Amino acid sequence: MPINKNNFEKSVFINCPFDDKYLPILEAIAFTVLRCGGEPKLARLEADANEIRLNKIIRLMEESRLGIHDLSRTKLDRGTKTPRFNMPFELGLDMACRQWSKHPHHKSKRILILASSQFEYQKFLSDISGQDIHAHGDDPIEAIRGVRDFLNMNKPGKNKLPYPGPKTIGRDLAKFRAALPMMLKTIPMHKRDLTMVDYIALASEWIVVNC
């Protein structure tokens, strides 16, 4: 599969939950990627009934140099009494892409693993016990710190200047959230109808104008 090198360098695959409780963390992660000049890649940003979901996920991983995987929701569901294994499964696929892919770009892939607490993942995925894990404690600001530092250590190309610090990105996110209601009025759109596609488009526009 041909890969556009420029797009590959700045693309960041995000593998995370999509429930309402997690949404503030997801929005913080996506905003941080945008604020650091990256392009978030999520399966929910694309809609094509002709493409099988797993194939789409694999394609997005192959197109992304960086991957962010949050394992904080791999717990028993109160309703079904079963765990959610999508996130660990996708993490494994992304790690395998770097390990076994014959495409030269994939050897430069890097991965960030997030979790609520430092050692919770060992209960269900002990094979990655030697990996560095960033624990965000379900705090969006701490998630910003982990993602920003990861992106800063893996800047593309010859970009050597450090990215804005986590406190700056956190303040920018707060300013964007304050500006969002007025931005939605100009569309117009109700906040409850806001999708991640909309959120990323509006955040991108706000960052270009204000940062």
Q: Give yes or no for residue 127 having a pLDDT over 80.
A: no
More confident residue, 48 or 198: 198
Q: Give yes or no for residue 130 having a pLDDT over 50.
A: no
Q: Give yes or no for residue 11 having a pLDDT over 50.
A: yes
Cα distance between residue 64 and residue 81, in whole Å: 34
* Reported confidence tier of residue 1, pLDDT bands at 50, 70, 90: low
Beta bridge partners of 41: 13
pTM of the model: 0.89
CB 196 within 8 A of CB 42: yes
More confident residue, 116 or 176: 176
For 84, half-sphere exposure in the C-beta direction (CA atoms, 13 angstrom radius) is 16
Cα distance between residue 65 and residue 13, in whole Å: 8
DSSP states of 142-189 as a string? HHHHHHHHHHHHT--TT--SPPPPHHHHHHHHHHHHHHHHHHHHTTT-
Q: Which residue is it, tokens 């990215």?
A: 163
Domain 5-165 has CATH 3.90.950.10: no
What is the average pLDDT score of the chain?
87
Report the range of poorest mean pLDDT among 47-61, 158-172, 182-196, 197-211: 47-61
* Reported confidence tier of residue 77, pLDDT bands at 50, 70, 90: low
CB 90 within 8 A of CB 134: no
Report the range of poorest mean pLDDT among 28-42, 82-96, 151-165: 82-96
Q: Give yes or no for residue 121 having a pLDDT over 60.
A: no
| Helices 23-35 + 196-210 axis angle, to 10 | 40
The amino acid sitting at 104 is: P
Q: Give yes or no for residue 14 having a pLDDT over 70.
A: yes
Q: Give the domain ranges of the chain.
A: 5-165
The predicted structure's pLDDT at residue 183: 97
